[in-house]
Amino acid sequence: MIAIARRNLPFSFLNPNPFLCNSNLHFFPSIQFHSSSRISAIYDVLIHNHQFPHELASLAASRVTKFGTPERADSVLSFLKENRFTTPQLQKLVLYSPLILGYTVERLNSRLKLFQNLGISSDENAKIVFSNPTILHSSMSNKIIPSLSILKGLLGSNDDVARLLKKCSWFVTADLEKTLMPNVEILKSCGIPMERVLHFLYTHPRGFLVKPDILRKSVDKAVKFGVPHTSLTFIRAVIVFNHTSEGMWEVKLQTLRKLGFGEHDILAIFRKQAQVFSASGKKMKEVIEFLLASGKYDTSSIVASPSALVCSIEKRLEPRMQILMLLESRYLIKKWPCLAVVTTLTDARFFDRFVRPHYDVIRDEHITKLFVQGIKQ
């Protein structure tokens, strides 16, 4: 009788929350007691054994499936702790999917073992699963093992597979037959050597998980802009187009045009460093206006050194410009360095080149102290 009655219960009752009142409960007192007591016990385990916040413990306990028990929840969390998962990681995993509290340790261990066999440490293992919790839910035989097999065939070794998964764990659960493999073939068909394709797979992994038709359109756009297939910029350009809608692309072009850049300037910037177009139109506008307002650089300077467009004004451009202005005001430099020098030198090399030779003269200036302090930090 109870089994028949349960099929007619509303969803809210089948997923009870002990902290919410349900008007249907008085019709099934035995189920009410069993469900409420089980949820309460799981709640206690999360609070007392694993230091979960009360609100999260309440939410998680109320959403555990019928397979969830206090013992299972405790064993799952204890097992993951033993495998280097931190308390914040566990809390976020449970918030993302309380269902894991109803899993068996064997289920979790089988997945972690696969990564350990690739040579991935427990700490890295925890990071991989945390960054892609669907690993815990995906089928071993239908998803995870086939994906790892494809990666091993493409990359050649366990070490290389591990290296890629540390960069992007989504390769474990994505449909690689419909994304990664066709995308690799598209790039190879453009005459790009496999060695370079794999290089960009490691440096821009998510770009290989887009739908092939998207990648094909991005390749066509890069060709239209005249980026040579054999250049490093080509795949960078493709990656930019993968993640930039037509609307956003037009916004960036309009931003550059309004600030005085001609079509040839824009093409030159794109062909030199396509990745700068990954920055938002707002970011590009702020950097350009800052540089032009200094009176030291113009649009031609930016075309010659487009990497400036992705530099932080607060952390890189402004502190260095202030140092140079200080040096100029003391007649310690006769000519400003080109924009490439200002933007590409490390803080230490910038200090050695511009600050150290005049340190005795400017060491007490507030600007100098802030710059030196920034290097030490």
Q: Domain boundaries in the chain?
A: 1-103
Burial of 263 (0-12, 13-18, 19+ CB in 10 A): exposed
pLDDT exceeds 60 at position 34: no
Give residue 48's pLDDT: 94
Distance CA 116, CA 113 (A): 5
Share of the chain above pLDDT 70, in %: 90
**Residues with Cβ < 8 Å from 317, sequence gap 6 or more?**
287, 290, 291, 308, 311, 342, 343
- Closest by Cα among 39, 29, 30 to 68: 39
Q: What is the band of 64 on the pLDDT scale with cuts at 50, 70, 90?
A: confident
Per-residue b or e along 168-194, where b marks 16 or more CB atoms closer than 10 Å to that residue's CB: bbbbbbbebeebbbbbbebbeeeebee
141-to-164, 209, 377 alpha-carbon distances in Å? 21, 21, 48
Give residue 225's pLDDT: 86
Distance CA 57, CA 95 (A): 9
Identify residue 350 by its one-letter amino acid code.
Answer: F
**Residues with Cβ < 8 Å from 56, sequence gap 6 or more?**
46, 91, 94, 95
How much is the mean pLDDT over the chain? 88
pLDDT exceeds 80 at position 128: yes
Give residue 114's pLDDT: 94
Residue 276 has a CB neighbour count (10 Å cut-off) of 22
pLDDT exceeds 70 at position 3: no
Residue 345 has a CB neighbour count (10 Å cut-off) of 17
Give residue 303's pLDDT: 97
What is the average pLDDT across 207-215? Answer: 95
Give residue 258's pLDDT: 95
pLDDT exceeds 50 at position 23: no
User: Is 224 or 165 the better-scoring residue by pLDDT?
Assistant: 165
Q: What is the band of 191 on the pLDDT scale with cuts at 50, 70, 90?
A: confident
Give residue 66's pLDDT: 74
pLDDT exceeds 50 at position 30: no
pLDDT exceeds 90 at position 93: yes
Distance CA 252, CA 306 (A): 14
pLDDT exceeds 60 at position 214: yes
Give residue 229's pLDDT: 82
Distance CA 157, CA 140 (A): 20
Q: Tens digits of per-residue pLDDT, 256-284? A: 999 999 999 999 999 998 989 999 999 99
pTM over 0.85: no
